[in-house]
Amino acid sequence: MARALGLLLLCGAWALAQAAGTNINYALVSGDNDPHWPYMQALLQLACSQMRQQCVLQAARDMNQGRATEQMLRADGRVDLFWGMTSRERERKLLTVRVPLDKGLIGWRVSLINADHPDLFKNVKTRRQLTAFRAGQGQDWPDTQILLHAGLPVLTSPDYPNLFSMLRQHRYDYFPRSVIEVKQELASPNSKGLMLDPYLLLHYPTAFYFFVSPKRADLARLLRQGLDKSVADGSFDQLFKAFNGDHLRELKLSGRTIIELDNPLLPEDTPLQRRELWFRP
């Protein structure tokens, strides 16, 4: 009788935990128009469903990636997670879910340029030629260090939306964006007066991960196991193609000049050997 009562109480506690759900307080680091958000939301829910968890998502707005990291490291911080490009520093400070959410597409870059200079890069074929132009990037983005390491001039801003108006004002020449970001950005009012450069494709090896607060090892474990199950049963690939397939074809990547850049920030633990995790245009 005592054992049966104990099992009953245990099952009741488990059911209560399931009903309450797993809370995920995520940082919306690119504001309400974050082009990654719909796909990231779908991936979070996919990972949770694989683990039979009901996840409750709550956004923390108005913070960049640097501030989100600070919040995640504070004992009283209210941010559990953000998504972004990897670096050694981020992986050292935060719990890293090493499943590249975009299959490496964050490192394939096309550029927004001013519509009044449509042929800006028509004659650019090499990295050396590209050094004659200035890129715009977020102040705390790993991409900034990658471009600078390649010898490319960069103008930065701590405010993501401000980068679009800075480009319209000709304060810099081009805004490299990942091939999974740029379609939604072009459709945004922020991109008025801008266009997509049709000539160049920049590439550096990198990964886009979920980064989790060290206080939430339970959440990091749930997401890691859930995403691994999704990769194994094919549901990850199905979701990736559903969100990214059409606009990747529209970008006509194979007809562009590819400029390869080194990534000095790429951590040694990046799972490059797992070919099923990566996509090559």
Return the pLDDT at 28: 83
Of residues 21 and 223, more confidence is placed in: 223
SS3 content of the chain, % helix, strand, coil (to 5): 40, 20, 40
Amino acid at 224: R
On whether both 100 and 212 belong to a single domain, the answer is: yes
Residues contacting residue 265 through CB under 8 Å, at least 6 positions apart:
86, 87, 88, 89, 142, 145, 146, 206
- 1 located within any domain: no
- 194 located within any domain: yes
Return the pLDDT at 47: 97
On whether both 35 and 67 belong to a single domain, the answer is: yes
CATH of the domain at 96: 3.40.190.10
pLDDT in tens, 250-272: 998 889 999 999 999 899 999 99
- 265 located within any domain: no
On whether both 100 and 117 belong to a single domain, the answer is: no
The count of structural domains within the chain is 2
Q: Is the pLDDT of residue 15 over 50?
A: no
Q: Is the pLDDT of residue 18 over 50?
A: no
CB 96 within 8 A of CB 174: no
What percent of the chain is modeled with pLDDT above 70?
Answer: 91
On whether both 112 and 193 belong to a single domain, the answer is: yes
Count of beta carbons in the 10 Å neighbourhood of residue 135: 24
Residues contacting residue 163 through CB under 8 Å, at least 6 positions apart:
136, 137, 138, 157, 175
Nearest to 178 by CA among 158, 208, 154: 208
3 state DSSP class of 256: coil
Return the pLDDT at 237: 96
On whether both 138 and 92 belong to a single domain, the answer is: no
Paired tokens of 243: 């969100």
On whether both 147 and 232 belong to a single domain, the answer is: no
Return the pLDDT at 279: 83
- 8 located within any domain: no
**pLDDT band for position 276 (cuts 50, 70, 90):** very high
Q: Is the pLDDT of residue 124 over 80?
A: yes
3 state DSSP class of 202: strand
Residue 255 is classified by DSSP as: G
Task: Decide which of 203, 223, 258 is a domain's last residue.
Answer: 203
Return the pLDDT at 20: 52
On whether both 172 and 189 belong to a single domain, the answer is: yes
Whole-number Å distance between alpha carbons of 177 and 24? 27
Q: Is the pLDDT of residue 116 over 90?
A: yes
Whole-number Å distance between alpha carbons of 175 and 173? 7
Paired tokens of 184: 């939604």
pLDDT in tens, 38-70: 999 999 999 999 999 999 999 987 788 888 999
Paired tokens of 45: 């829910």
Residues contacting residue 119 through CB under 8 Å, at least 6 positions apart:
199
| Mean pLDDT, residues 221-229 taken together | 98
On whether both 240 and 217 belong to a single domain, the answer is: yes
On whether both 241 and 164 belong to a single domain, the answer is: no
Residues contacting residue 76 through CB under 8 Å, at least 6 positions apart:
none
Angle between helices 235-250 and 37-50 (to 10 degrees): 160
Is 0.85 surpassed by the pTM of this model?
no
CA terminus-to-terminus distance, the chain: 62
Amino acid at 261: L
pLDDT in tens, 141-193: 889 999 999 999 999 999 999 999 999 999 999 999 999 889 889 998 999 99
Residues 212, 144, 67, 37: is their CA dihedral positive or negative? negative
Task: Decide which of 177, 203, 229 is a domain's last residue.
Answer: 203
- 169 located within any domain: yes
3 state DSSP class of 61: coil
Return the pLDDT at 2: 41
Whole-number Å distance between alpha carbons of 203 and 146? 11
Q: Which domain holds residue 121?
A: 106-203
pLDDT in tens, 182-217: 988 999 899 999 999 999 999 999 999 999 999 999
CB 187 within 8 A of CB 57: no
Residues contacting residue 52 through CB under 8 Å, at least 6 positions apart:
18
On whether both 199 and 63 belong to a single domain, the answer is: no
**pLDDT band for position 32 (cuts 50, 70, 90):** low
Q: Is the pLDDT of residue 4 over 80?
A: no
Return the pLDDT at 10: 36
On whether both 114 and 191 belong to a single domain, the answer is: yes
Paired tokens of 255: 């007809």
Q: Is the pLDDT of residue 105 over 50?
A: yes
On whether both 33 and 66 belong to a single domain, the answer is: yes
Q: What is the mean pLDDT of the chain?
A: 89
- 113 located within any domain: yes
**pLDDT band for position 97 (cuts 50, 70, 90):** very high
CB 240 within 8 A of CB 208: no
**pLDDT band for position 7 (cuts 50, 70, 90):** very low
